[in-house]
Structure 1
Amino acid sequence: MGSLVLLDLMGGVALLLWGLHMVHSGILRAFGPDLRLLLAKALNNRFTAFAAGLGLTALLQSSTATALITSSFTAEGLVSLVPALAIMLGANVGTTLIVQVLSFDVAAVAPVLFILGLVAFRSGPRSRIKDIGRVAIGLGLMLLALHILLDTMAPAENAPGVRVFLSAITGDPVLCILIGAVVTWLVHSSVASVLLVMSLAYSQFISPYAAFALVLGANLGSAINPLMEGAHRDNPASYRLPLGNLVNRVVGILLVAPFLRPITEHIHAWQPDLAKATAQFHVVFNVATAILFIGFLDSMARLLKRLLPKRVQETDPSRPRYLDESALETPSLALADASREVLHMGDHVEVMLRKVMAAMMTNDRALVDQVSRMDNNVDSLNEAIKLYVTKLTRGSLDEREGQRAMEIVAFAINLEHIGDIIDKNLSELATKKIKRRLQFSSEGAEELSAFHKRTIDSLRAGFGVFMSGDVTEARKLLAEKAALRTAELAATERHLDRLREGRPETIETTSLHLDVLRDLRRIHSHICSVAYPVLDATGETAADRASAAVAAELPAPAPGRS
């Protein structure tokens, strides 16, 4: 009998965790950018920050998720430590609300949530409606899991072995706190662990005293996860927020633990239903600690800054700036971060392109060396972007998000190819010119500079098309590709004319001149690749694009002529 009880218990907990995951992921996918923007705007003072943390965590059902989002803000310097700590106090209260709601008998709502969720998920015309359906299904699974834990689990008298085992491991309050902390850390959810404690108390497997001690442990365990996942070892300052939250929990537990038995007796006398009493103790503990600490956040922030100073270090140009791991659960945020990182990578490529031409024209060997080092940075950023997007695509993405992920990877690869052309081709041409002490003719130098400027302008236009998806700008970019091809042919013809004239500078640099034109055109082709997905999305065929390119090359009709 004991084995069946344990099996029911594990099955119910597994179903509860999966329901929590669906609620959490559905809310993030549907409202992630809005929630993050709301959180960023609610930081004027500690009280609005507290309210924002409470509301956000009540929706997400995860104080860990709130902590990771807030930690990313503080790591980027967007949020000061005092409002961030206030957010976490609100998050600790917010995570108790769903427990309080589910302490009432609402299991009959589960079938309604399943039906509504399935209809929304299967027939939702937009992604947000589908995600709201996911949330409804997740809530239904949570209620169904509670039904398993509270109603179908065998009474304690029919499973004496389980009762003896649980009584043995929950006899000591300190051990209960440790067990609650470990279980919460393992399942990454104080909601799940507190609901499990409620079901055990309701079925009389554990005493009210042990239930309250386990709740204290659950509060401790939920503060450990952000400390281990949200901090970066190379930056001690990233530990400030999660450590401050952990200190709040530890101090609260130390203040309550000595008086836990009289507190238990008082609450149990006031609320005989052990499940509701457990939920109410969970709420009271977090509200009391929030009231206690919200006035001391300034002192705590100063202490944390003194203990964990921000490490002053030079920025490594090969390391990504915007790839936030905590955003991976919200595809829209993660895709925006990856797009920003591609632009960061593009900035490196643009600088390389400017420097290599400057080296070509001024015979500056130091600039060539700088370009080579920057290409290594571009390669590193490209690998980081591809790895980040790969992690993102392991989850469930809708068609639009999947397409955007592929566009990001494709443009990053094209930028990396541009970097290789600059480093492997143009830099070698510049080195050859420097070693041989060659000089372009004035006309040739002017042609190459103009061609280079058009390439730079197209690169910046390509960045705009990549971020905006503007169809008109994409067409202009492809029209410029055709026009640049014509300009290359004209420049080549003028170069051959100078060769026929027998100009010494032109004869000495003829291969260099033509190779630079060729490589710049190849770079331009990689830039223009960003326009194709934009036009494909409008249904324009390759033939349509070719016709538009030809039309762009035709001269405008003279006034008065058709």
Structure 2
Amino acid sequence: MKHLLNLLAAVALLVWGTHMVRTGVLRVFGANLRNLLARSMGNRVSAVLSGIGVTALVQSSTATSLMTSSFVGQGLITLPSALAVMRGADVGTAMMSVLFATDLSWLSPLLIFVGVVLFITRQDSTPGRIGRVLIGLGVMLLALRLVVEATEPLVESAVIRTLLGSMTSDIFLELLMGAVLAVMAYSSLAIVLLIAAMASSGAVPLEVALGLALGANLGSGLVAVLTTAKSSVEVRQVTVGNMLFKVMGVALALPCIGLWMRHVRPLIGDGASNVVLFHLAFNIFNTLFFLGMTNMVARWVCVLLPKPAPGAGNPLRPRHLDASALATPSLAISCAAREALHQADVVEAMLIGMHKVLVNDDLKLSAELRQLDDTVDELYSAIKYYMTKISRAELDEKEGQRWTEVISFTINMEQIGDLIERVLQDIETKKIKKGRQFSAAGMQEINDLHARLLDNLRLAMSVFLTGNVRDAQKLLEEKARFRDLELAYSASHLARLSDKTVPSIETSSLHIDLISELKRINSLLCSVAYPILETAGALAPSRLRETPLPQRD
């Protein structure tokens, strides 16, 4: 019993070490890795090479699959290119298994020591996150040695030998067990290393170990499919296509296990080396053989998972909050930012519709627009809930600032939606139902303010998206100009009241409230510029004069 517990603890340590390395690398290099993938889609060869490189760093083909799937979901890359990346990702994780299967136990204490020192002394910085990666690497190497030590006493048990011997005649059971273990561990790399270590100690017959390794490959594809099960169709197409490649590859590789045992095993000898090299050979073959079929498999997947017809479903529901992206904080923040722009598009539709209601006295359109405010509120709630799933402790300074910007932007859009709804209610009550009209001059002033407000909304969306300092400065200049116009138009309205202009007298309350609300909306839009200008050092500390005002007698 003690030896079994030692083995389970060693396996858990191996899985945890793999998790630490994967999450640590994504936290430090996540944005750069995404940029590397996005720039490497020119052809299939470069896509495969980028998949190998990214997966070698992340040490998880599943993580690469989720990043690539999110790109397809955002329309940044095509499905065939994504499938080519996944061919390289499988080769990358197989190469890492070969590296870890070599005797690197001497390196484990050094990696753990250096990693702990960096993590403790610089925990919230990039060196601290790199220290976490080093700790994970050291723990993986330590766990592999512990697995070998823990399995040696178990091999001597007659019961264990009988149980393992009964598996040699059931290849499908081996595939199932390998797949289940990979799903449970969320890592085919950890399971392949575990299988290699147990084959090295003799705990598992080599022929069984090769079958388990093929099952682990299926399991890694299944993990990605399950993780993206609730994502958009475009995202699921990548993981399902990758799974099809794995299934076809395993079907072709099964008859080769016997050939490997007869012709290759005598040349290698060591059980662990046989497992990892068979794993690498399988993935290289799977990539080279099927690389030319990415377009064909992409068509199959599109038939299995067709995209919804344009206009199908509710176009106003959250579109970009991909749950699979939460494993990569920088990617999740990008998804939330895109959803915030979707929310702003709904606000823009409300703002345009508000002017039509004002001009045409359209009560039906007004009711529809007020219902859109519920959509703005729902999008705000969805974005806020999604953002709370991103741990602030895992973000660097730049990502933390972007997190705050996204939340602030969505709050402002929600408040603007509420203001537009209130303006619509006032228009219905004070203008449409009473049959009143603005004076020609008053209507022209409102038209001017509305046009400027619409332009400022679009400029604010651009500033939020790009972070351009010059556009942010222009947005604040528009705030001052809008304030001056609001004061000027209020004065003009009061002058018309003095001249006893009847339409101005009848709509006075609505006119003053309307231009005041438009100014408030504009102020909320312009607040997007403040964090960008503050970061660039382009904001003054205060608008107050530094010299004190003279005292009154």
Same topology, TM > 0.5? yes
Name the SS for the 2:265 alignment partner: helix
Which residue does 1:353 correspond to in 2?
351
Name the SS for the 2:454 alignment partner: helix
* Deviations, residues 297-335 of structure 1 (Å, cap 9, x unaligned): 344334333444333131633223333333322222222
Structure 1 distance, partners of 2:541, 2:87, is 60
Structure 1 distance, partners of 2:449, 2:545, is 24
Q: Tell me the TM-score normalised to structure 2 length.
A: 0.89
Q: Percent identity?
A: 42
Residue 100 in structure 1 maps to residue 98 in structure 2: yes
8 Å contact 1:356–1:430 — kept in the other structure? no
Amino acid at match of 1:437: G
Structure 1 distance, partners of 2:133, 2:430, is 63
8 Å contact 1:67–1:230 — kept in the other structure? no
Structure 1 distance, partners of 2:46, 2:103, is 32
Instruction: Pick one of 297, 300, 313 that aligns with 1:300.
Output: 297
8 Å contact 1:208–1:268 — kept in the other structure? no
Which residue does 1:553 correspond to in 2?
none
8 Å contact 2:3–2:150 — kept in the other structure? no
Q: How do 1:114-129 and structure 2 match up within 5 A?
A: 114-122=112-120, 127-129=125-127
Q: How do 1:87-486 and structure 2 match up within 5 A?
A: 87-122=85-120, 127-151=125-149, 153-168=151-166, 172-232=170-230, 235=233, 239-314=236-311, 316-393=314-391, 396-430=394-428, 432-469=430-467, 477=475, 481=479, 484-486=482-484
Cα displacement (A) at 1:418:
0.6
Amino acid at match of 1:344: H
Q: How do 1:6-21 and structure 2 match up within 5 A?
A: 6-21=4-19
Cα displacement (A) at 1:213:
1.2
Which residue does 2:550 correspond to in 1?
none
* Deviations, residues 84-128 of structure 1 (Å, cap 9, x unaligned): 332222222111111101111001112222244345445669954
8 Å contact 1:365–1:431 — kept in the other structure? no
Bigger shift: 34-43 or 437-446? 34-43
Cα displacement (A) at 1:394:
6.6
Structure 2 distance, partners of 1:482, 1:84, is 47
* Deviations, residues 440-473 of structure 1 (Å, cap 9, x unaligned): 1122122222333343344344334434556676
Structure 2 distance, partners of 1:85, 1:473, is 38
8 Å contact 2:80–2:298 — kept in the other structure? yes
Structure 2 distance, partners of 1:31, 1:383, is 30
Bigger shift: 178-187 or 397-406? 397-406
Amino acid at match of 1:289: N
* Deviations, residues 149-184 of structure 1 (Å, cap 9, x unaligned): 123554345555544444455663321111111111
* Deviations, residues 49-84 of structure 1 (Å, cap 9, x unaligned): 222222222221111122222222333444333333
Runs of 4+ in 1 over 6 A off after TM superposition: 538-543
* Deviations, residues 244-272 of structure 1 (Å, cap 9, x unaligned): 32233223323332442342243332222
Structure 1 distance, partners of 2:531, 2:460, is 12
Structure 2 distance, partners of 1:139, 1:244, is 31
Which residue does 2:551 correspond to in 1?
none
Cα displacement (A) at 1:242:
2.7
Name the SS for the 1:392 alignment partner: coil
Cα displacement (A) at 1:193:
0.8
Structure 2 distance, partners of 1:102, 1:450, is 68
Name the SS for the 2:202 alignment partner: coil
Structure 2 distance, partners of 1:532, 1:415, is 16
Cα displacement (A) at 1:510:
1.1
Structure 2: stretches of 5+ with no match in the other structure: 547-553
* Deviations, residues 494-529 of structure 1 (Å, cap 9, x unaligned): 322322222211111111111112222222332243
Structure 2 distance, partners of 1:125, 1:377, is 41
Name the SS for the 1:114 alignment partner: helix
Name the SS for the 1:436 alignment partner: coil
Total equivalences in the alignment = 545
Bigger shift: 20-29 or 528-537? 528-537
Structure 1 distance, partners of 2:533, 2:308, is 46
Residue 495 in structure 1 maps to residue 496 in structure 2: no
Structure 2 distance, partners of 1:166, 1:319, is 52
Name the SS for the 2:389 alignment partner: helix
8 Å contact 1:393–1:402 — kept in the other structure? no
Bigger shift: 187-196 or 326-335? 326-335
Name the SS for the 1:248 alignment partner: helix
Structure 2 distance, partners of 1:92, 1:284, is 11
8 Å contact 1:371–1:427 — kept in the other structure? no
Structure 1 residues 233 and 157: alpha-carbon distance in aligned structure 2, compared to 1, 3 A threshold: closer
Which residue does 1:53 correspond to in 2?
51
Structure 1 residues 164 and 8: alpha-carbon distance in aligned structure 2, compared to 1, 3 A threshold: farther
Structure 1 residues 299 and 521: alpha-carbon distance in aligned structure 2, compared to 1, 3 A threshold: closer
Structure 1 distance, partners of 2:73, 2:466, is 28
Structure 1 distance, partners of 2:461, 2:354, is 20
Which residue does 1:520 correspond to in 2?
518
Structure 1 residues 97 and 377: alpha-carbon distance in aligned structure 2, compared to 1, 3 A threshold: same
8 Å contact 1:117–1:134 — kept in the other structure? yes
Amino acid at match of 1:342: A
Which residue does 1:509 correspond to in 2?
507
Structure 1: stretches of 5+ with no match in the other structure: 549-562
Structure 1 residues 59 and 465: alpha-carbon distance in aligned structure 2, compared to 1, 3 A threshold: same
Bigger shift: 112-121 or 401-410? 112-121
Structure 1 residues 62 and 494: alpha-carbon distance in aligned structure 2, compared to 1, 3 A threshold: same
Which residue does 1:41 correspond to in 2?
39
* Deviations, residues 418-437 of structure 1 (Å, cap 9, x unaligned): 10110133343246412222
Structure 2 distance, partners of 1:439, 1:488, is 20
8 Å contact 2:22–2:58 — kept in the other structure? yes
Structure 1 distance, partners of 2:363, 2:125, is 54
8 Å contact 1:200–1:206 — kept in the other structure? yes
Amino acid at match of 2:271: L
Amino acid at match of 1:310: K
Structure 1 residues 292 and 157: alpha-carbon distance in aligned structure 2, compared to 1, 3 A threshold: closer
Amino acid at match of 1:398: D
Cα displacement (A) at 1:42:
2.2
Cα displacement (A) at 1:29:
2.2
Name the SS for the 2:254 alignment partner: helix
